[in-house]
Chains A and B, each alone.
Chain A
């Protein structure tokens, strides 16, 4: 048990912080803990959590994805066109939306792997393209999503918010199995040392492409879920989500130098970030002071994560970080 805690230290800390924050939130919320309060909270958290997972797949292989928000904007605007119908159209529409997400990820991946450009600049440029495409689809916010579908995805099942069920499914049915496959191991291997991974016979290019593809898939899922929550298409959401997704993975203990962290951490980080914003809303702070307090909390949380540096015994170890 102690070994487990030690090796998953980052996730455990993030989860503990989340539980504490959530307790404060539910304690201070005027309506207390109810399905309604939990549902709204969980919906907001899940959007960012899916974006954070997209960011995680870029960061884990020592990259960064500045196009997460742009892919969300593109898939969200696309969803507002193709998810207005009923029945079978909805399945096709959702499939199309996710396909576009994966495609965006693979374009990023191809430019990084075969064009040999750094991920940060590739995604900087492609983000501009994706936002442009989103603006073509929806020059102004609008469109609609089938309400029955949106309700089904954003309300609750037997009192448990659907968003939390989706979160549990992503972790239990996707991440835990993936972590045990060769691909899951390869992600960490490349993030830790690309050269060593290559020399061990790992198909570095394929794993990298797969990682970008998965990133695109989750950015698409985030865009899709955003559509369910807001039931409109809006091309202007990109910047905010990109920056928050980076902050979320860092809060969740995913190291930007690659090879460290997990999807569970990314989840926890996103939930922490959104819970802080929600807390702000009911805390009685003057609204104008809220952005400042949010920024200070974010900086403080990151600085605490950085305090691990104080445990370094040899000064030279610092440079390996």
Chain B
């Protein structure tokens, strides 16, 4: 059932890390600066944005569900935090990050209402939530890029460095550590993959499956919102459809990391590898200065190859 959770360094998890290493080595043959500390620490910073979101996505996918509301939870959180910080009022500025995270948790719970109580497939319900959020933000901003700016704390978290390590990366690892502890050391974590594996059996074993689902979706919402806060801090603003480029790479990172899209097996460590891989792949493809068309094609092909490798691995195991 949760074999990969108990053995975090099993081979499926190692694949994306190995692939990332290959990517760096091959890339450095053409661009020696890829081995430089500057480049790598910059990649860690960029990976953190995707990484934070992917942590939440992993939790939901472990359940056998999916959260397609990521783009506008991210965008909404960015909008809320920059608007509050943009007022210049010290109290409101301080509230910027908590308000954005609270927003994420709220939307996560609304997602869960549809999925848990109405039993609507998560793929459809979260998609509808996404369009409602999109609509709200269009109504609020009037279709223009919203005014407002990032608070000092937001900028520091997104772009600052501690002992040369990007703060965003530290934060990402913090989130991953907390969630990993929750997954491995609490009943919640066990129930999570149990539900992904067989919800009926889990329910019959006396687990309150609705509360697990609610918590999982709320965590995913908070993670997406945190991603939004980070991005807003990085860009010093919120902008329309800033979350759209993050939806599909997030799912790709989770799946490449060996988490089954059907739920029940996988874990956070694999996803971290998947995030590294996707971030570096994007970076290498843009460093090579090939056209957007070929970048899309290469991206798709490499994801397919990774998926085939992962499927073959699982069949052997």
Residues of A that sit less than 8 Å from B by CB? 64, 111, 115-118, 120-122, 124-136, 139, 239, 243, 246-247, 250, 256-257, 288-296, 298-299, 302-303, 305-307, 309, 316, 318-321
Contact = CB atoms under 8 A, between A and B. Distances in A.
Interface string B113-146: 0100111110111011101111110110011000
Contacts of B129: 299
B16 to A, nearest CB: 14
A117 B311 contact: yes
A127 B300 contact: yes
B81 to A, nearest CB: 21
A316 B252 CA distance: 33
B303 A128 contact: yes
Nearest to B124: A250
Contact of A121 (B127, B143, B291, B307): B307
Given A289-B139, A295-B131, 4 more contacts: A135-B292, A288-B138, A302-B114, A303-B118
B125 A302 contact: yes
A299 B255 CA distance: 28
Given A121-B261, A295-B131, A319-B200, A306 B120 contact: yes
B297 interface: yes
What 6 A-B pairs come out closest when comparing CB atoms?
A: A292-B135, A132-B296, A128-B300, A132-B297, A135-B293, A129-B300
B297 A129 contact: yes
Nearest to A127: B300
Would you call the interface of chain A mostly helix, strand, loop, or mixed?
helix
17 contacts: A118-B262, A120-B66, A122-B307, A125-B252, A125-B303, A126-B304, A129-B304, A132-B296, A132-B297, A136-B291, A291-B135, A292-B136, A292-B138, A302-B125, A309-B119, A316-B200, A319-B203
Given A288-B143, A302-B124, A316-B200, A132 B293 contact: yes
Contact of B119 (A135, A299, A318): A318
B300 A298 contact: no
Interface in B251-273: 251-252, 255, 261-262
Interface residues of B, number: 51
B294 interface: yes
A51 B244 CA distance: 22
A122 B311 CA distance: 12
B299 interface: yes
Contacts of A134: 293
B190 interface: no
A310 B153 CA distance: 47
Contact of A133 (B121, B127, B297): B297
A307 B294 CA distance: 45
Contact of B251 (A121, A132, A294, A305): A121
A316 B66 CA distance: 22
Contacts of A128: 248, 296-297, 299-300, 303
A247 B127 contact: yes
Nearest to B244: A239
A291 B123 CA distance: 20
A57 B178 CA distance: 42
Nearest to B248: A124
A314 to B, nearest CB: 12
A280 B241 CA distance: 22
B305 to A, nearest CB: 9
Interface in B196-253: 199-200, 203-204, 244, 248, 251-252
A85 B30 CA distance: 45
Contacts of A307: 118
B288 interface: no
Contacts of A246: 123-124, 127
B166 to A, nearest CB: 28
B295 interface: yes
A230 to B, nearest CB: 21
A125 B129 CA distance: 24
B138 A319 contact: no
